[in-house]
Amino acid sequence: MARIHGQALAAALALVAGGAAADPVGITPDMMSVTVDTAAGPVEILRDQDNAARLEGDWTLTSRPCPNFCIQPMIPAEGVTPVGELEVLAALQDPNTHVIDGRITSEFEAGTIPGAISMPYNEAEDRLGELGCEIDFDGWICEGDLPRVVLFCNGPWCGQSPTAARNMIAAGFPAENISYYRGGMQNWQMLGLTVVPGDPSVVAVQ
């Protein structure tokens, strides 16, 4: 993924709607964009500059049946820290933190947060070796200087990353090293933030 340079950002800011220039859409009053390193190279995360942009498709649905689409708790397991978009952006720039997409691979490949790693919820407890844990006869030993992880999935109604968090903790990964971005892809896209195709071959341990 090529880095979006300043000229492209300037062009985005010059988008016209009915002949009038669009108002700039920043992340915060003092932050227009954030550049993160990914396996495909640097990617600049910014918000969609089209002031008339809207979500489309399934992301606009409000009333899919529960189960499976049930509202998730803000804290999926004791000790896990809930976070929002600004904390996710900071985590993407922290070499000691992994932002993990807990969705199934096909959803990850269709579009994810730049720099996120695919670790489907039904694989997470078996892949703790990628997060610094050591295999043992009885499971995993997760000790020492382990990375922090931020888990997310499709949004407040998606149970994939909460399940991943609970399974990881049950397998031995410390809850205090886990953060949960409950807003997930729904909120990320609602805010117009950059989405890229996911590469499932990228893992936490290189």
Mean pLDDT, the chain, integer: 91
Q: Looking at residue 21, what is its pLDDT?
A: 59
Q: SS3 letters for the chain?
A: CCCCCHHHHHHHHCCEECCEECCCCCCECCECCEEEEECCEEEEECECCCCCCCCCHHHHCCCCCCCCCCCCCCCCCCCCEECCHHHHHHHHCCCCEEEEECCCHHHHHHCECCCCEECCCCCHHHCHHHHCCEEECCEEECCCCCCEEEEECCCCCCCHHHHHHHHHHHHCCCHHHEEEECCHHHHHHHCCECCECCCCCCCCCC
CATH number, residue 107? 3.40.250.10
- Give the tens place of pLDDT for each residue, 189-204: 999 999 999 999 999 8
Chain centroid offset of residue 179 CA: 11
Q: Looking at residue 110, what is its pLDDT?
A: 98
Report d(CA 118, CA 50) in Å as an integer.
Answer: 29
For residue 74, being part of any structural domain is answered with yes
pLDDT average, residue stretch 18-38: 87
47 neighbors 191 (Cβ within 8 angstroms)? yes
Q: In total, how many domains does the chain have? A: 1
pLDDT average, residue stretch 85-96: 98
CA angle 139, 129, 168 (to 5 degrees): 60
Domain that holds residue 59: 6-190
For residue 196, being part of any structural domain is answered with no
pLDDT band at 93 (very low <50, low <70, confident <90, very high): very high
For residue 204, being part of any structural domain is answered with no
- Give the tens place of pLDDT for each residue, 43-75: 999 999 999 999 999 999 999 999 999 999 999
Q: Please compute Rg for the chain using Cα positions.
A: 18
For residue 197, being part of any structural domain is answered with no
- Give the tens place of pLDDT for each residue, 120-151: 999 999 999 999 999 998 899 999 999 999 99
pLDDT band at 22 (very low <50, low <70, confident <90, very high): confident
For residue 205, being part of any structural domain is answered with no
45 neighbors 194 (Cβ within 8 angstroms)? yes
The amino acid at 8:
A
For residue 44, being part of any structural domain is answered with yes
For residue 199, being part of any structural domain is answered with no
For residue 70, being part of any structural domain is answered with yes
Place of tokens 């971005």: 181
Q: Looking at residue 206, what is its pLDDT?
A: 58
Report d(CA 150, CA 165) in Å as an integer.
Answer: 10
Q: Looking at residue 137, what is its pLDDT?
A: 86
Q: Looking at residue 50, what is its pLDDT?
A: 96
79 neighbors 163 (Cβ within 8 angstroms)? no
